[in-house]
Amino acid sequence: MSSFVSNGDKSDATELDEDRKFRKLDLYRPKEAPKQKRAEIKYDVPQPRSERMPVDQDWTSVWPTAQSFRPSVVPLPLRQGYREKGAPPGKYANLELMKVPNFLHLTPAHLAKHVKVLRPFCTPWPAGLETDEKCEEHFPVEVIDSDYCHASPSIRDARSRIVTLRVKLSDLELDYHARDKLLRLVGDRYDAATDILTIVTDRCPLKKQNYDYAHYLLTAVYHESWKTEPWEADKAESDMECYLWEKSRSEANAVGFVKRMQQSLAGQEEITLPHVQHLPPDFSDDDVKGVAQVKDYAEAVCEIHNEGESLQSWDKYKRSVCSLLGLKHSELSPLAGEVHASCSWRRVVPTPRALTLFLVLVGFGLVLFIYLPRSFEERLVRSPRRRIPVLLAYEGEAEVHTFFCDTHTTQCPRIEFTPASGWQGGIPGVPDLHLLSAHYDTRVWVHGGKNRHYVRLLGVIKSEDADSLRFFCQMWYQELPHPIVVESDRTEIWLPAWDGRSPPGRYYRPFIFSCPVPFNVSSPLNSGPANVSLVAEPCACPPNSLALSKTPEKDPKRGIAVCVKGLDFPEDISARLVEWLELQFLLGADTVFFYIFQVHPKVDLILRYYRRFRRVQFERIQLPGLDEPHIPAKRRQYLTNNTWQKRRHELVPYNDCYYRHIPTHEFVLLVDIDEVILPRRHSTWQELLNDIVSTKPKMLATYASLAVPNVYFFDHFEQSGTADTMIQEEEL
């Protein structure tokens, strides 16, 4: 009998058998057999391209043009950047190296290829231009421009449009009139030391436009300098800005004298004066002017008149006279401030004609030596040009007249003055003259590049004949035993139109006494005198002695200095003063300078605090003159009752503060403690001034000062009845 079993029954039987078996309890996982790792394929990593480059490769093909730095193709161990306590980073992934421009496309190999390509297009160097001197002779105009290379997307640079044109003024072959006019047109673009005129153009957007504009400017000023205005023909010799040898009386006298000497020696066979006897028979005035001895004499005369008297100029003058007269010049013998020119005749000529000629020559030499400087000086004094105050630059060119005195301090009485007030005076004949301070001013530049130094004295005069008085300045130098004495020019710093013309002698009138320093003194002794005295006679004993305030000009100038007139406040204004001071410093004040009559003790404490920790300075001041009250209450009453005298007095400390700070600051601001200059569109005064200067670049060279409109803001406003009614209606 057959039996049939399905697959399902078989599986159930197998599972039953498995369940009946004894199982082993495994507390730990059995260890797996180690898997067999796949064999890794190792590849050879090549070195970077920069390490595999051959040393003899063609670098021009690797780096053909300007591009940013790539470390993979530059075989140089470069580093760039900064890492604290570590070496600079390497070249790989170094952004600093990628930022800066490189010149790897301008190596000698690149340049050699460029030159090889450009050589067929070049012409040979012109003959006759082998040296720089020959190039300057044939091409006197030099043009300088610049190109800039950038490793960046943009190759434009604003500086590349600037063009500089340089030319020697002597190459333009100008006469005196044209040269003088051209120098006035170009201003400070001419350097007298190198004789080079420099024109820089940058106003046009393109370099070619600036190049054409520079040549246009040179052409314009050249042709303009040759023009002669109709009024120039009316100028007399005494109206000239400086002494001119051409067409002068001295030139005519010298030419006539040489002609007479040539006629006197015409029949003489022996050569005694070669420069005269070798002239052609039909010589002209131009032939005489071309003689070397005549040129030397003309140069010496012009130097004395234009640059001032000195031992060197007189020595040069003496030698030129002796050379012109055919004499043998000897040593100088300076005695008591004079120069004695001693000349000896070359040989002894016993003939009467030679003796006569000798006497004529010596007499003419003495006339030239003594008469010409005095006559020219007298013409300068008589010239009406000296009475025109607007010609400051021309007036400063002529040398000032100097008085030489044997005044010694031991021969004069001791100077006494009141230290409390700071005023000095007491000039005999002018008792109501009082001086406050003296300053050394080196700002005036005259034509020709000369720097005219001045000593400025500030004071007041109360006299009916103040306008007719003459004053002289005795300038005492530490290096000189005697003072340098010059006549003083005075300028009243009060306009009569402000209060009408007052009777003479009614008020103390403020003046600035200006004493010009001779060129031959200011050049070797440019530090200025130590003291200065104002006297009524050149060689009088000094009744006063003012120390000069001198500031070293080597330090760069600072910003704005604020000057405040004399404070006279018995009440406590310390809170308002602190507010005002802080506002001045916020607006850009560098220094604030006060003059003080009398202030409250708290105000004095505030000023001392700011003087210690901020740039604040102050100085005590009193009224000048013995008849002025110095007791605080009386002084306050006096100034209240004499308003116009008070306003005149205020100008003296204002100018004193100005001369103190103008050598050290760019601007000086004159305000009171109830005044504040508030810019409308700027945060500080300096931003305002920079904006004005950028808008009008020539403003500072055209105007001497800037004025600001004022608006009054009162603490309390009085309201009228109508206004009160309107306010009440608005409230209702």
pLDDT of residue 725: 41
Is residue 465 situated within a structural domain?
yes
CATH code, 227: 3.30.160.20
* Domain that residue 188 falls in: 132-232
- Verify that 74 and 102 share a domain, yes or no: yes
Query: Between 292-307 and 249-264, two packed helices, what is the crossing angle to 10 degrees?
Result: 150
Is residue 143 situated within a structural domain?
yes
What is the spatial distance between Cα 247 and Cα 253, in angstroms, rounded to a whole number?
Answer: 11
Is residue 126 situated within a structural domain?
no
pLDDT of residue 441: 87
With cut-offs at 50, 70 and 90, classify the pLDDT of residue 564: very high
Whether residue 536 has pLDDT greater than 50: yes
Query: Between 352-382 and 249-264, two packed helices, what is the crossing angle to 10 degrees?
Result: 170
Whether residue 686 has pLDDT greater than 70: yes
What is the spatial distance between Cα 60 and Cα 568, in angstroms, rounded to a whole number?
Answer: 82
What is the pLDDT averaged over residues 413-429?
65
CATH code, 581: 3.90.550.10
- Verify that 317 and 269 share a domain, yes or no: yes
Secondary structure (DSSP) of 408-466:
-GGGSPPP---TTT--EEEETTEEEEEEEEEEEEEEEEETTTEEEEEEEEEEEE--TTG
For the ranges 127-141, 241-255, 424-438, the lowest mean pLDDT is seen at 241-255
Contact between 214 and 163 under an 8 Å Cβ cutoff? The reply is yes
- Verify that 107 and 221 share a domain, yes or no: no
With cut-offs at 50, 70 and 90, classify the pLDDT of residue 642: confident
What is the spatial distance between Cα 596 and Cα 617, in angstroms, rounded to a whole number?
Answer: 11
What is the pLDDT averaged over residues 689-702?
85
Whether residue 496 has pLDDT greater than 90: no
Contact between 168 and 140 under an 8 Å Cβ cutoff? The reply is yes
Whether residue 387 has pLDDT greater than 70: no
1 vs 538, higher pLDDT: 538
Using alpha carbons, select from 667, 665, 670 the residue that is nearest to residue 653: 670
What is the spatial distance between Cα 366 and Cα 40, in angstroms, rounded to a whole number?
Answer: 117
Whether residue 343 has pLDDT greater than 50: no
18 vs 443, higher pLDDT: 443
Per-range mean pLDDT, top range of 211-225, 488-502, 621-635: 211-225
131-182, pLDDT tens digit by residue?
888 888 889 999 999 988 776 666 678 889 999 999 999 999 888 889 989 9
- Report residue 355 as tokens: 């003796």
With cut-offs at 50, 70 and 90, classify the pLDDT of residue 501: low
pLDDT of residue 375: 42
Is residue 125 situated within a structural domain?
no
Instruction: Output b/e per residue, 381-420; b: 16+ Cβ within 10 A.
Output: eebebeeeeeeeebbbbbbbebeebebeeeeeeeeebeee
pLDDT of residue 730: 36
pLDDT of residue 348: 34
With cut-offs at 50, 70 and 90, classify the pLDDT of residue 720: low
Contact between 588 and 560 under an 8 Å Cβ cutoff? The reply is yes
What is the pLDDT averaged over residues 549-578?
85
Whether residue 372 has pLDDT greater than 70: no
Facing residues of 670 across strands? 563
What is the pLDDT averaged over residues 648-666?
90
- Verify that 564 and 689 share a domain, yes or no: yes
With cut-offs at 50, 70 and 90, classify the pLDDT of residue 118: very high
For the ranges 54-63, 165-174, 549-558, the lowest mean pLDDT is seen at 549-558
What is the spatial distance between Cα 502 and Cα 267, in angstroms, rounded to a whole number?
Answer: 76
pLDDT of residue 726: 37
What is the pLDDT averaged over residues 61-86?
88
Whether residue 21 has pLDDT greater than 50: yes
Cα dihedral 308, 310, 314, 317, rounded to 10, equals -40
205-250, pLDDT tens digit by residue?
999 999 999 999 999 999 999 998 887 777 766 666 677 777 777 8
pLDDT of residue 213: 95
Whether residue 60 has pLDDT greater than 60: yes
pLDDT of residue 458: 92
Is residue 40 situated within a structural domain?
no
pTM greater than 0.75: no
For the ranges 109-113, 274-278, 594-598, 641-645, the lowest mean pLDDT is seen at 274-278
Choose the final residue of a domain: 498, 518, 549. 549
pLDDT of residue 669: 92
Is residue 17 situated within a structural domain?
no
Whole-number percent of the chain with pLDDT over 70 = 78
- Verify that 570 and 698 share a domain, yes or no: yes
Amino acid letter, 178? A
What is the pLDDT averaged over residues 451-456?
86
29-42, pLDDT tens digit by residue?
777 777 777 888 88
Whether residue 344 has pLDDT greater than 60: no
What is the average pLDDT value for the chain, to the nearest integer? 78
Whether residue 347 has pLDDT greater than 50: no
What values do phi and psi take at 284, rounded to 5?
A: -110, 180
pLDDT of residue 253: 83
What is the spatial distance between Cα 418 and Cα 675, in angstroms, rounded to a whole number?
Answer: 33
Q: Which residues contact 437 (CB under 8 A, 6 or more apart)?
A: 422, 457, 458, 546, 549, 656, 659
- Verify that 102 and 139 share a domain, yes or no: no
What is the pLDDT averaged over residues 645-659?
90
Choose the final residue of a domain: 90, 120, 150. 120
- Verify that 347 and 462 share a domain, yes or no: no
pLDDT of residue 113: 93
- Chain centroid, CA 589 distance in Å: 22
With cut-offs at 50, 70 and 90, classify the pLDDT of residue 518: confident
Is residue 582 situated within a structural domain?
yes
Q: Which residue has the tokens 């504040």?
A: 676
- Verify that 170 and 216 share a domain, yes or no: yes
pLDDT of residue 545: 87
Instruction: Output b/e per residue, 3-13; b: 16+ Cβ within 10 A.
Output: eeeeeeeeeee
What is the pLDDT averaged over residues 689-717?
83
- Verify that 375 and 454 share a domain, yes or no: no
Whether residue 701 has pLDDT greater than 70: yes
Q: Which residue has the tokens 């001895």?
A: 293
- Verify that 298 and 319 share a domain, yes or no: yes
- Verify that 104 and 165 share a domain, yes or no: no
pLDDT of residue 257: 80
Is residue 727 situated within a structural domain?
no
Whether residue 351 has pLDDT greater than 60: no
Contact between 247 and 298 under an 8 Å Cβ cutoff? The reply is no
Domain count, the chain: 5
pLDDT of residue 483: 86
Choose the final residue of a domain: 331, 350, 381. 381
Contact between 562 and 581 under an 8 Å Cβ cutoff? The reply is no
With cut-offs at 50, 70 and 90, classify the pLDDT of residue 365: low
- Verify that 516 and 584 share a domain, yes or no: no
For the ranges 168-177, 492-501, 698-707, the lowest mean pLDDT is seen at 492-501
For the ranges 76-80, 197-201, 716-720, the lowest mean pLDDT is seen at 716-720
Whether residue 321 has pLDDT greater than 80: yes
